[in-house]
Amino acid sequence: MTDLSRRRFLKLTGTTLAGSSLGLLGFSPAPAVAEVRQFKLARASETRNTCPYCSVACGILMYGLGDRAKNAQPSIFHIEGDPDHPVNRGTLCPKGAGLVDFIHSESRLQYPQYRAPGSDSWQRISWDEALDRIAKRMKADRDANFVTRTDDGLTVNRWLTTGMLAASASSNEVGYLTHKVARSLGLLAFDNQARV
């Protein structure tokens, strides 16, 4: 009986909740009421992360459904500030407080898409099709326009007809690998949001 959840407690007592029925059930609801918050998160899995918005990098705790078992699909349903974090000490601003809605935004893209020249709509394509076609266009452009030497004989090995922007909200690991690939191709028109 002591493990009774708040929801189950309300269900059991139903609309007859009154002093007399409480007495019949043989316990007081006080501890259950006092621990509402714990019940909400008690069976959630907790993951430590940092807020992806500004550069304060507040520590956050993400609460997800499920116990990380292989057959359970986790889904984040609550995010709050990490009280152990030395900078934000558990607080979040109005941006960080809405993070769970970012994860589940209806604008999240679901699958690769393609817009043909002149078309007014997207069509869904597979990952292999998308990556194959992009890689082919990149190679065709690079092979046609790569500059090995300037007219006056300087070795320059650059590719100026394709450019790239990298994401300054992506991780260091993403950034590192992106740079490695982009520069190996000879890209120079290459920036991230630090430019703006």
Partner 1 sequence: MTNHWVDIKNADVVLIMGGNAAEAHPCGFKWVTEAKAHNKAKLVVVDPRFTRSASVADLYAPIRTGTDIVFLGGLISHLLATDAIQREYVVNYTDLSFIVKDEFAFTDGIYSGYDAAKRSYDKSSWDYAVGDDGYVLTDPTLQHPRCVYNLLKAHYARYTIEMVERVCGTPRDKIRQVWDLIASTATPDRAMTIMYALGWTQHSIGSQMIRTGAMVQLLLGNIGVSGGGMNALRGHSNIQGLTDLGLMSNLLPGYMTLPGEKEQDFDAYIAARAQKPLRPNQLSYWQNYRKFFVSFMKAWWGDAATAENNWAFDYLPKLDKQYDMLQAYELMNQGRMNGYICQGFNPLAAAPNKAKLVASFSKLKYLVVMDPLATETSEFWKNYGALNDVDTASIQTEVFRLPTTCFAEENGSLTNSSRWLQWHWKGAEPPGEARSDIEIMSGLYQRLRAMYQRDGGAFPDPIVNLAWNYARPDSPDPEELAREYSGKALRDLPDPKDPAKLVRKAGEQLAGFAELRDDGSTSSGCWIFCGAWGPSGNLMARRDNSDPTGIGQTIHWAWAWPANRRVLYNRASCDPRGRPWNPARKLVAWNGSTWGGADVPDYKADEDPVNGMGPFIMNPEGVARFFARGGLADGPFPEHYEPFETPLAANPLNPGQPQALNNPAARVFEQDRAAFGTSSEFPHVATTYRLTEHFHYWTKHVHLNASVQPEQFVEIGAALADELGIGNGSRVRVSSRRGHIEAVAMVTRRIKPLLIEGKPVHTVGVPLHWGFLGVAKPGYLANTLTPFVGDANTNTPEFKSFLVKVEKA
| Binders of partner 1 in range 2-41 (CB under 8 A) | none
Q: Which one of 1, 19, 34, 173 is in contact with partner 1 (CB under 8 A)?
A: 173
Torsion of CA 36, 42, 44, 50, to 10 degrees: 80
Write the CB contacts of 50 (distance below 8 Å, at least 6 apart in sequence): 57, 58, 59, 60
Residues that contact partner 1, how many (by CB under 8 A) = 117
- Please tell me the distance from the alpha carbon of residue 191 to that of residue 164, in angstroms, as a whole number: 7
> Per-residue contact track with partner 1, 152 to 171, x per CB under 8 A?
--xxxxxxxxxxxxxxxxxx
Smallest separation (angstroms) from partner 1 to the CB of 129? 10
Pick the closer one to partner 1 by CB: 9 or 53: 53
Look at residues 83, 94, 106, 89 and name the one whose alpha carbon lies nearest to residue 54: 94
Pick the closer one to partner 1 by CB: 35 or 67: 67
Q: Are strands 45-50 and 59-64 parallel, antiparallel or unpaired?
A: antiparallel
Smallest separation (angstroms) from partner 1 to the CB of 39? 20
Smallest separation (angstroms) from partner 1 to the CB of 66? 9
Smallest separation (angstroms) from partner 1 to the CB of 41? 13
Assess 151 for contact with partner 1 (CB under 8 A).
Answer: no
Reduce the DSSP state of residue 143 to 3 states and report it.
helix
Smallest separation (angstroms) from partner 1 to the CB of 38? 20
Neighbours of 153 (CB within 10 A): 6
Query: For residue 164, how far is the Cα from the chain centroid?
Result: 22
Window 79-138: residues binding partner 1 (CB under 8 A): 81, 84-89, 91-99, 101-103, 105-120, 122, 127, 130-138
Q: Which one of 10, 25, 32, 49 is in contact with partner 1 (CB under 8 A)?
A: 49
Instruction: Give φ, ψ of 6 to 5 degrees.
Output: -65, -45
Smallest separation (angstroms) from partner 1 to the CB of 150? 7
Structure tokens at 42: 């008690």
